[in-house]
Structure 1
Amino acid sequence: MQLWLTLGAFSLAPLFFGSVDQLAVVIWVVVLSLGVILGLSIPLSTNQVRLLLVFLTGCGVYAGVMGLQIVPGFFGRLADPSWSSANELLGLQLPQRISARAQITREALGHLLLLGAGVLNGFFVGVSRRRTDTLFRVARYVILTYAVYGIAALVLTPNLVLWETKEAYQGMLTATFINRNTAATFMGVGFILWLCRAVLSLRVIEAPTIRFLLLMPWNETLAFRSLLFFAAALLCFCATLLTTSRGGLICTSIGAFLALFLLVRKTFNFRLSYALPVAALAICVIVLWLGQSGRIGSHGLFDDGRFSVYVASIGATLARPLLGYGAGTFADVFPSVRSADLSGWGVWESAHSTPIEIALEMGLPIGVMVLAAAVGSFVILFRYSLRTRDRSEGSAFAVLGVVALTFLHSLIDFSLQIPGYLIPFSILLGSGLARATAEHGEASLAC
């Protein structure tokens, strides 16, 4: 039951506009929380328990700071100046708070709960190698289905998202998401998952020569299946290209290259002296290709307006570095720190950089804690991908590439703040961390 709840959340969270409305967030919090309750009976190893305790402690610290920010009169010298300004201008006696809002926003609380519950559900699934294989198999076909739908919708209804008229990104692939950049990262995850599966499938083909390959019927069947896997990967990559998202394309390419390089080197036992020059050449080719492709070639790699937002947000963070401005208050605070050189058109509801937005809202200590958690999880998965030698190698390299894609993209956009992407990613991350901390000899028992 816990597995089915996790698979259901993974599959359906992106379906209706990325689950950005509050009702969808509540539904997925309830579903994932039920999965966590059912997963509490699953036995864990000592290393897995330790990692979960560290994760839950981090979530508790984050939630504790969110609570302190709205306590009236707490740390008066750190209170947001907007409270005293409102009292002076309106003649009120409002209690001062650290946060610019009197309450924690529903979005901020909901996203924290979704991240925690998603990672825990993925972790409980990842305890078993068999259930992990099921999760990754379902994930591949689910994202492929969204990619096929996105391409079909772009051809047949280019100005609609499901049944609603697009307010932006008309003529660009967004699938069931509102934002093309989130769609690009989601399709990029599918590309990495299918690519790793396709490369891994080549290992079982036994043929010392091409002629011998053609004479062995079982090799022909295996080769045909590998071609289908590569075709699925190519379709997901085409969907990523059709979003015309510069950040999504660049981060997908980097994540896929990392996973593919490590997987190919380990699968075919390349020497490091041969692999490094090939990797350097491949990186140069990727950079040259990306530099001349689509919007990257015509608009460049970086958006000047976004850079101005980063500078203004960092300056505001340094002005109140300890406890920030309050969870979920970026849209309230940014107009007061918006620089004059930034265009007056439009409303910036997010910083387009999740770490910068967290640092502004929660303070530098929490920002550093979140960054350390991201780097730590990447290191754990990287070390696991290098040492694993069972049939779960494909998922190990795939989740490493997905994590690299997602963390890099979070530096320049807000895909992790969209529940329809946050839920699938947190489930994959949790399952990868569970496999990485499984003790030797436990994997066969967990199956």
Structure 2
Amino acid sequence: MFKKILIANRGEIALRVIRTCREMGIKTVAVYSTADAESLHVRFADEAVCIGPPPSNLSYLKISNIIAAAEITNADAIHPGYGFLAENSKFSKICQEHNIKFIGASPDMIDKMGDKASARATMMAAGVPCIPGSEGILKDYEECLHTAKGMGFPVMLKATAGGGGKGMRAVHSEKDLRAAWDSARQEAAAAFGNDGMYMEKLILEPRHIEIQVVGDSTGKACHLSERDCSVQRRHQKLTEETPSPFMTDKLRKQMGDAAVKAAEFIKYEGAGTVEFLVDKHRNFYFMEMNTRIQVEHPITEQVIDYDLIREQILVAAGVPISGKNYFPQLHSIECRINAEDPYNGFRPSPGKITNLHAPGGHGVRIDTHVYSGYSIPPNYDSMIAKLITTAQTREEAISKMKRALDEFVIEGVKTTIPFHRQLMDHPDYVEGNYTTKFMEDFKMDPIKTE
């Protein structure tokens, strides 16, 4: 087992990893930028190393600084969390070269599944259902137009190196294709340094449902059932739940089997998710694979009583998995609490938290790195907390979430708490009748004044 793990991340996920390491008797090293000097992950780790100024490219994305921090502290493993370098094959390879275990996918696995066109071809070879689309990367606009006409509109243009909705364009008619092609390529080049594009048939009214998988070094994999991530804004998830209200036992088995087949076909090692789009007729199609821990992993942990971070560490240390598939015994919902103003287009709202009161009680979990007096830097993702409620039924989990949101007080900055509170009362959400298009028609109720 590892003696010391460096967490190459920040905020709540860094704190989450530190907590499990402490329970396992493993020493931890936090890295931080000067903007995060007062963050809780820095205070709770056994050691902490400053790796640069606030900009990510000079700190959390600067591989040389992170490797240097690992070497001077004698860390024998690195956990990348999510985001930043978690799916960077170069970082995974450099860790290997320095005899530091990367707690995540191998460089080859990241390259194979991180490139969406390559991942799609791999999954087709594995026999996993895929959305009809182009054969690999489109070489120019003429091929793009020919492919679109061949499969028929609407289509979805996607950056092969994409993520977080960048480089994606839904195109409903030929007249809009050229502008979408140009803007998507420009955005992809700026965000990822790669303007490669591919095309898929646009699935109308889809659900975004992912299957959590874990694979070990023997090539064996299992699944931990599904999470419904369909409530999104600009392809960014806002809330997630498990089990999905759209799921049937038959569909769960089919999707679970497909996800395990995908993981075992590529001999996947570690925790990851196989992401699917599911149409209104419950046909499902492979979308992408995330070769890392997910933001929304706590809801899976809650419904099957399973520490995914612990499992990541065990698998990385060479411990084989049981091979057993898991199914939800409870219902769990996660609301991502962002420092954003939902009344003004979800505009970021960094600043100092002047007062914070966190909810509690049975079935309420909060993953956060913030506290009263903490200053939220403007340099990073705006998520400051994850509020998770778990109960015997979906109805009880929603009621518990309403109560917890009413108790949750964060003053000094705007947050998405009011949005989530209204979402929990929305008739379509309450009925489980939502798709990835849900937010297009969602309108915040006016602010109530006394």
Instruction: Identify the TM-score tier after normalising by the shorter chain.
Output: under 0.3
Larger radius of gyration: 1
**Where is the helix percentage greater, Structure 1 or Structure 2?**
1
**Where is the strand percentage greater, Structure 1 or Structure 2?**
2
Give the TM-score normalised by structure 2. Answer: 0.24
